[in-house]
């Protein structure tokens, strides 16, 4: 497979070739992928395939720069998301609901994403994608007519890839860096509820088990260090690629707060002019929630609205954030200090999954007990680089 270019446009002569005698894990149906497009497709497909197998429902992910901006399994599409896309949330099909919920975790970052779904693309999802800024999709199949419909996106540059569900990857994988070939055994541990059996505190309810399992699938294909917050079968905030784990925790926590504050009545009451595009509405909602508008931004927001916005006071923000509860939190590596637990608690976390085994595990357990958080120690580190 010839690629448009490598990681950067000036890195030419890029290509992809299968290593396994079983052939290609994916098939290009339309478009010219770049190096990063292929990485997003391969990581995204593995994530949704494993999440769907573990949870028994269709799964979707929205990838940007080789990490998921959001991921979810099928489920209810709430009023905020439904209103944004002009749909009836209770009538959305399973695959479409999974993708809409995945994209809603961080819709600003999902602008121009690479989508991945565990089940074939149907007419409903294809129609939704035609109205979104999305660069491509990978799926195990496509309903008749959907490939032709999607191939017209982006002036014919939309990428369409088909995953081979029967493909079995080699047991070992290699990477060449600066004249060295690094080889390791592929991570083949199956994700199941058995990983969450060792708990401290109250028993994990079924909903938390599902959320944490989804979290493990997300972290497995997110650049480390990484953590994620989840609730109701969807990510609320993903923190990726930070050198400090607590920075990941705080970053993902801020995204979780933004997700929740977008549901505040004052944000939903923002009256945008009819000509303001959907993505611009999303971006303005987020900037309004963040509350640190520059003078220039404030002027542009005022022009985008039909009536002036009523700012959220610090008291209103704090009161609304206290209503967020029942959140699950997963970490790809052991929590090294209790500050991760203390920060996670600020964002409604009641359940935590982490490998355990740090020299301060006792402090982590103590912090969880103080905050009435159920702690599950998986014994499984999920670093991804």
Residues 6 or more apart whose CB falls under 8 angstroms from that of 111 comprise: 133, 279
Indicate the DSSP class of residue 131. T
Sign of torsion, CA 198 199 205 210?
Answer: negative
CA 149 to chain centre: 26
Q: How far apart are the C-alpha atoms of 208 and 232, rounded to whole Å?
A: 8
CA 184 to chain centre: 26
Of 225, 264, 345, 384, which residue is the catalytic one? 225
Of 30, 37, 43, 64, which residue is the catalytic one? 64
| CA-to-CA dists, residue 207 to 60, 193, 326, 344, angstroms | 18, 12, 9, 18
Q: How far apart are the C-alpha atoms of 334 and 364, rounded to whole Å?
A: 10
225 catalytically annotated: yes
299 catalytically annotated: no
Of 65, 108, 164, 283, which residue is the catalytic one? 65
CA 201 to chain centre: 28
Q: Helices H, strands E: what count in the chain?
A: 13, 14
| Residue 164, both tokens | 């081979």
| Residue 287, both tokens | 């900037």
Give the 3-state secondary structure percentages of the chain, helix then strand then coil, rounded to 5: 40, 20, 40
DSSP secondary structure string for all residues of 96-111:
HHHHHHHHHTSTTTTT
Q: How far apart are the C-alpha atoms of 384 and 373, rounded to whole Å?
A: 27
Q: On the CB side of 26, how many CA atoms lie within 13 Å of its CA?
A: 25
385 catalytically annotated: yes
64 catalytically annotated: yes
Residues 6 or more apart whose CB falls under 8 angstroms from that of 149 comprise: 126, 127, 130
Pairing of strands 349-354, 327-331: parallel
Question: Taking Cα atoms as reference points, which of 259, 238, 260, 261 lies closest to residue 250?
Answer: 238
Catalytic residue annotation: 64-65, 225, 385
């Amino acid at each position: 497979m010839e690629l448009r270019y490598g990681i950067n446009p000036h890195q030419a002569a890029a290509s992809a070739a299968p290593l396994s005698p079983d052939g290609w894990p994916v098939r290009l149906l339309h478009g010219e992928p770049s190096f990063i497009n292929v990485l997003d497709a391969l990581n995204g497909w593995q994530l949704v395939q494993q999440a769907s197998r573990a949870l028994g429902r269709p799964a979707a992910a929205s990838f940007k720069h080789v990490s998921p901006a959001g991921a979810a399994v099928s489920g209810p599409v709430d009023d905020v998301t439904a209103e944004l896309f002009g749909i009836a949330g209770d009538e959305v099909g399973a695959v479409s609901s999974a993708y809409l919920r995945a994209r809603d975790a961080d819709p600003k970052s999902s602008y121009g994403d690479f989508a991945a779904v565990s089940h074939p693309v149907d007419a409903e999802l294809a129609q939704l994608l035609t109205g979104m800024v999305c660069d491509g999709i990978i799926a195990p199949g496509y309903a008749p007519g959907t490939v032709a419909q999607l191939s017209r996106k982006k002036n014919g540059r939309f990428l369409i890839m088909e995953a081979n569900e029967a493909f079995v990857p080699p047991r070992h994988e290699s990477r060449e860096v600066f004249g060295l070939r690094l080889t390791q055994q592929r991570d083949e541990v199956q994700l199941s509820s058995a990983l969450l059996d060792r708990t401290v505190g109250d028993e994990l309810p079924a909903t938390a088990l599902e959320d944490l399992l989804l979290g493990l699938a997300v972290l497995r294909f997110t650049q480390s260090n990484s953590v994620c917050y989840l609730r109701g079968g969807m990510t609320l905030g993903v923190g990726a690629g930070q050198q400090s784990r607590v920075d990941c925790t705080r970053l993902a926590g801020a995204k979780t707060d933004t997700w929740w504050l977008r549901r505040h009545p004052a944000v939903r009451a923002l009256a945008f002019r009819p000509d303001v595009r959907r993505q611009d509405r999303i971006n303005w909602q987020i900037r309004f929630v963040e509350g640190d508008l520059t003078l220039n931004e404030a002027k542009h927001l005022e022009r985008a609205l039909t009536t002036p916005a009523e700012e959220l006071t610090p008291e209103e923000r704090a009161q609304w954030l206290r209503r967020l509860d029942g959140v699950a939190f997963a970490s790809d590596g052991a929590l090294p200090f209790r500050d991760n637990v203390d920060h996670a608690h600020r964002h409604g976390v009641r359940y935590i999954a982490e490998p355990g085994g740090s020299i301060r595990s006792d402090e982590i357990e103590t912090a969880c007990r103080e905050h009435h958080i159920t702690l599950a120690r998986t014994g499984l580190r999920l670093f991804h680089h």
